[in-house]
Structure 1
Amino acid sequence: MTGNPLFSAAELESVPLFRFVPLECMEGILSHCTVKELSQGEQFEGAGPLDRNIAVLLAGRLALHYDVRETEDPLFLEPGDIVGETFAVGEPGVPCLLVSAEPCRILIMEEDLIWSLAQASHSAACNLLGILLRRSSNRSSESFSGTAREYALHDQSIVDPLTGFHTRRWLEGILERQVNRAEASGKPLSLIMADIDNFRAFNEKHGRIGGDRALRAVAEALRNYLRPAEVVARYGGDSFAILLPDTTCATAGMIAERLRQRVANTVIDIHDGRMLPPLTISGGIAGTAAGARGLHLVEAAIAALDAAKASGGNTISG
């Protein structure tokens, strides 16, 4: 049993997306998902191809019906099936609906949580890739080629190729949703804005290769310390944004301080026999306030970061 009472280990084991994924990689992420329960005969709303959300059938059976023709034997979705996957390989443009053949439980996973899971677990990333490929396998080669190009372009816009973190564009896309979720639940949400100290001078001294190695080393230090539910984005050239759900500013400050210490002790191997000197980071902390929006959270964290830099760097402010 996971730490979330909404899910059982048996239910999660039936889901292909979660196959071979350690429970500790999922608990923080699943705590932000929702579960929709349907009584027998109730229609599932919002079913469709995988897009910005994933809906996974945890328990029960859903019957697929077309409203433009009679079917003696409806198609049934079983526990572990992803709702919407069937439509993608069916007849394009044919409207259909899903009705629970028995009481059902459906897990709703938003886009930002899907990417967090893929980042947290190599197995989850492979599972997700397999699902995407399976959805495309029955399309024409021309359609698949177009889909692959679109997916590649989308991926380039939301994932930074150097660090493997999400981009500022992606963060800005999910920030309001995270703020709204925190406000609705009454739970805290904090943001750390971190910046590498004196990185321009470091880059000039050690060149682009040295700078890239340093950025990767800092990114790896962040990745190895943070939990799966904590979202990291490369916000600018040498700055990172770390979104911390269910985290107060006081706790975020302790996390930022430990990250600062970890980065200061990180060895930068340039892979040509040279070891570059360690870097330091400064950090600014901000938390959500009643009625505040995502932009306010970012502005407050940047203001705190500026204060940390002005004090000489290698410190945390907020």
Structure 2
Amino acid sequence: MSTNIAAYVTGNSDHAEISGLDLFKSVNLLSIHELLSTCPMLVLEAGETLAAPGEPNQVVHLLLRGRLHVHQDSLESEPTSTIESGKCVGVLPLFDRRPCSQYVVANQESRLLVVDEDRLMELINSSHAVARNVLCTVMQELRQQGSPELEQKDLQEKYQRVSSTDDLTGVHNRRWLDEMLTRQIMRSATAQQALSVAMVALDNFKEFNNDFGKNIGDQALYTLAQTIMKNARPTDLTARYEGNRFVMVLPGSNVDGARHFAARLREAVGETNIVVPDQCILPPMTISLGIVELKAFVSAEGILLDAAAALARARDKGGNWVSE
């Protein structure tokens, strides 16, 4: 029996089941709600077969509730393994285009989320946390099979890419910022090119979180991150610094260029509603920014401290302000 998951995602207990899936650990479900709402849900009775050898593998099944048994040679043989709630079925075969090689049968009534290849790729592209979880699942399956298909170096490079990204917002994280900013400062100083840094924060975010709750607060941060990305140039670099603070590195921009960027971003944020799927639409928030231009060779830590001090001055003005 197949149904749509749209209503299923919104319930409290069911929301917990979705977040308990290996594929969605540490994922902001609000940010992928629209994609999840289009995925069908499959219910199997005890004894029903989910997959059989030779069948094409075109979807990934995520076990929300129940238990599945895996049989190697025939349905009459003893199960070789058990798949418990939260696990995925079919991730590796989907990527390497192999047909199913085992029988997978429901041991009890089981409820599964069905994700086709196109939807899985959309989830990966929209959430770095999903990308990381998919990679971990593939690595685990390869280890279990003893497969040499992916070299260890390649896996390490892929893991490094996803581990440099903030799970909630999809932009780069503090670890990446610290490494990249040092290189960018050296490059700009050597080439004698301008470089500016802007530190951005939502105004009154603590009160907002207290009033509306953490989930909606997370959506506000996600909305801000996406607005920053939409207003950034291709050469600009964005990272989540900590809490509700983000950092923009603006290569080739002097303080005047940073001012123009800050004004443009402040206006864009002030025009962007915070949309919480199936819950509410909140009016735009305001932001404060601290901007700093690189005047001499300083450390990444030093320029970030200067930007943080400028941001504090903007907040002291009452917020919705830009300070240098």
Structure 1 position 269 matched with structure 2 position 275: yes
What residue number does 2:239 align with? 233
The secondary structure found in structure 2 opposite 1:169 is helix
Structure 1 position 295 matched with structure 2 position 282: no
Shift of 1:258: 1.3
Q: Residue 191 of structure 1 contacts residue 287 of structure 1 at CA under 8 Å; is this kept in 2?
A: yes
**Structure 1 unpaired stretches of 5+:** 1-121, 123-139
Which portions of structure 1, spanning 4 or more consecutive aligned residues, are displaced by more than 6 angstroms?
A: none
The farther-off stretch of 164-173 and 201-210 is 201-210
Inter-CA distance 271–248: structure 2 relative to 1 (3 Å threshold)? same
The 2-side partners of 1:164 and 1:208 are apart by: 18
One-letter identity of the residue aligned with 2:308:
I
What CA deviation, in whole Å up to 9, does each residue of 1:185-224 have, x standing for no partner?
1110000000111111111211122112111111111111
Structure 1 position 174 matched with structure 2 position 180: yes
What CA deviation, in whole Å up to 9, does each residue of 1:58-80 have, x standing for no partner?
xxxxxxxxxxxxxxxxxxxxxxx
One-letter identity of the residue aligned with 2:204:
N
Q: Residue 171 of structure 2 contacts residue 240 of structure 2 at CA under 8 Å; is this kept in 1?
A: yes
The secondary structure found in structure 2 opposite 1:193 is strand
The secondary structure found in structure 2 opposite 1:191 is strand
Question: Which of residues 220, 226, 236 is equivalent to 2:226?
Answer: 220
Question: Which of residues 209, 218, 227 is equivalent to 1:203?
Answer: 209
Q: Residue 290 of structure 2 contacts residue 309 of structure 2 at CA under 8 Å; is this kept in 1?
A: yes
User: TM-score under structure 1 normalisation?
Assistant: 0.54
What CA deviation, in whole Å up to 9, does each residue of 1:111-158 have, x standing for no partner?
xxxxxxxxxxx8xxxxxxxxxxxxxxxxx8247274565345423431
The 2-side partners of 1:142 and 1:202 are apart by: 50
One-letter identity of the residue aligned with 1:306:
A
Inter-CA distance 302–271: structure 2 relative to 1 (3 Å threshold)? same
Shift of 1:294: 2.1
What residue number does 2:259 align with? 253
What CA deviation, in whole Å up to 9, does each residue of 1:52-103 have, x standing for no partner?
xxxxxxxxxxxxxxxxxxxxxxxxxxxxxxxxxxxxxxxxxxxxxxxxxxxx
Q: Residue 195 of structure 2 contacts residue 293 of structure 2 at CA under 8 Å; is this kept in 1?
A: yes
The secondary structure found in structure 2 opposite 1:305 is helix
One-letter identity of the residue aligned with 2:160:
H
Q: Residue 200 of structure 2 contacts residue 246 of structure 2 at CA under 8 Å; is this kept in 1?
A: yes
The 2-side partners of 1:216 and 1:282 are apart by: 17
The 1-side partners of 2:235 and 2:183 are apart by: 15
Superposition CA RMSD, Å: 2.6
Q: Percent identity?
A: 36
> Whose radius of gyration is greater, 1 or 2?
2
The 1-side partners of 2:296 and 2:289 are apart by: 23
What residue number does 1:310 align with? 316
**Structure 2 unpaired stretches of 5+:** 1-124, 126-145
Inter-CA distance 192–274: structure 2 relative to 1 (3 Å threshold)? same
Shift of 1:265: 1.2
Inter-CA distance 237–152: structure 2 relative to 1 (3 Å threshold)? farther
One-letter identity of the residue aligned with 2:193:
K
What residue number does 2:166 align with? 160
What does residue range 61-210 of structure 1 map to in structure 2 within 5 Å?
141-142=147-148, 144=150, 146-147=152-153, 150-151=156-157, 153-210=159-216
The 2-side partners of 1:258 and 1:143 are apart by: 47
The secondary structure found in structure 1 opposite 2:150 is helix
One-letter identity of the residue aligned with 2:288:
S
The secondary structure found in structure 2 opposite 1:314 is coil
One-letter identity of the residue aligned with 2:206:
R
Shift of 1:175: 1.1
The secondary structure found in structure 2 opposite 1:275 is strand
Q: Residue 257 of structure 1 contacts residue 315 of structure 1 at CA under 8 Å; is this kept in 2?
A: no
What residue number does 1:129 align with? none
Inter-CA distance 147–280: structure 2 relative to 1 (3 Å threshold)? same
The 1-side partners of 2:173 and 2:279 are apart by: 31
Inter-CA distance 148–141: structure 2 relative to 1 (3 Å threshold)? farther
What CA deviation, in whole Å up to 9, does each residue of 1:272-299 have, x standing for no partner?
1411121111000001122323222111
The 2-side partners of 1:240 and 1:155 are apart by: 19
The 1-side partners of 2:263 and 2:181 are apart by: 23
